[in-house]
Amino acid sequence: MLQYIQYKTSLPDMKEFTVCMWHKFYNHTNDHPLFSYAVPNQPRAIYLWVSNSLRSSYFSLSVESHTFFRLNYPLRLNRWYHSCTSWNGRTGEWQIWVNAERVGRGFHNRLVGHVIPGGGIAITGQEQRQYGGGFLEGEGSPKGSGGFLGEVTQLYLYKAALAAGKAHRDHKHHHGNHASSTTPQPPPVSTGPPLPPHPLLISGQLIPRLNINAQLGGRLRPQNPPPPTPGNLLLSSPLLQHSGGSTSSITLPVQDPTSTRTKRKDDYPREPAEGEVKQVMNVCSGCAPEPFKKAELISWRSTPKKLYSGALYTLANAECRRF
């Protein structure tokens, strides 16, 4: 039984788009077609899916049969994830966000200026290998065929791309032990004020032919010791005893508990699209206002849907991540 959802609406021509949704998977055996939009002579006008191997899951996006990326992400079974995938045909930029974190961004220049034709068929749950059909299942089908096994909710298709990303920032990816190559430089360590010159040394060497006891015994304790500064407490203790009976004072860089601690400033500003993604992600009930209603082409709340082959439409909890 090939279960899927068809969105009963007529879509216009698209120069850019964003697809956002919540999804949860029951297994990692099948590939999971999240969104498939087909037009005559082009079944992969837009195709967004999660493919699975033995140990990994990958987000992928294809426009006009050009696959832009195959991004590894640690998806766990029976857990809700929110994803937003965007393509801008004017610049060629694509982005993918998972749980309000941008995990991928790039450019595909071959389709700059391309317009995706309208009037096609949009579905979730199966890949259209021909206009309106061509689903694969059963014996002889490629590995991973069979369609989406899980749940989806709050799917929205917008006629606008997400705000352009920052080129200077290397965002965290989920490719095993991948580490960013643009880690910000740590702040300089404060060493406190310079210490006064030692009365017995010149350039690190002892002063020659100097009667230490007779001539410098009274100079080991300064007459007016410098006052303590924040971050450095003056500790006077008889650690050094000299023949003249005087003691030496030692200044140590001890943390002053009354000193003001300042929080380190973020080296990078927030991504422009982060606020957009979070607004969409926070729509988790039928009462919450839709933040970009004027840009909607498909709305989970208002677009008519037709369910095929036993796909179920059930009531959900009005709580993010706990539908």
Residue 210 within any structural domain of the chain: no
Give the range with max mean pLDDT: 123-137, 181-195, 224-238, 259-273: 123-137
Whole domain around residue 66: which residue ranges?
A: 4-174+271-308
Residue-level pLDDT at 203 = 63
Alpha helices in 147-299 (DSSP H): 212-215, 272-281
Closest CA to 24 of 16, 34, 39: 34
d(CA 1, CA 311): 9
User: What letters, b where the CB count within 10 A reaches 16 and e where it falls short, cover 291-317?
Assistant: ebeeebbbbbeebebeeeeebeeeeee
Beta partners for 116?
14
In a domain, 244, yes or no: no
Q: What is the DSSP letter of 208?
A: T
Min mean pLDDT across 1-5, 29-33, 257-261, 290-294 is at 257-261
Q: What is the pLDDT of residue 251?
A: 42
Asked if 57 and 74 touch (Cβ cutoff 8 Å), the reply is yes
> Is residue 49 one of the residues assigned to a domain?
yes
Residue 46 maps to a domain: yes
Give pLDDT, residue 235: 41
pLDDT value, residue 48: 98
- Better-predicted residue by pLDDT, 61 or 172: 61
**Domain membership flag for residue 204:** no
Query: Residue 169: inside a domain, yes or no?
Result: yes
105-109, 145-149, 235-239: the lowest-pLDDT one: 235-239
Query: What's the predicted TM-score (pTM) here?
Result: 0.69
Domain count across the chain = 1
Structural domain contains residue 97: yes
Give the model confidence (pLDDT) of 89-104 as tens digits. Answer: 999 999 999 999 999 9
Q: Are strands 4-7 and 305-308 parallel, antiparallel or unpaired?
A: antiparallel
Residue 77 within any structural domain of the chain = yes
Alpha-carbon span 23 to 127, nearest angstrom: 16
Residue 119 maps to which CATH number?
A: 2.60.120.200
Give the span between the Cα atoms of 170 and 154, in whole angstroms.
29
Quick one: DSSP state of residue 265?
A: P
Query: Tens digit of pLDDT for each residue in 108-144?
Result: 999 999 999 999 999 999 999 999 888 876 555 556 5
At residue 168, does pLDDT exceed 50? no
Structure-token pair, residue 45 = 């006008």
Whether 294 and 156 have beta carbons less than 8 Å apart is answered as no
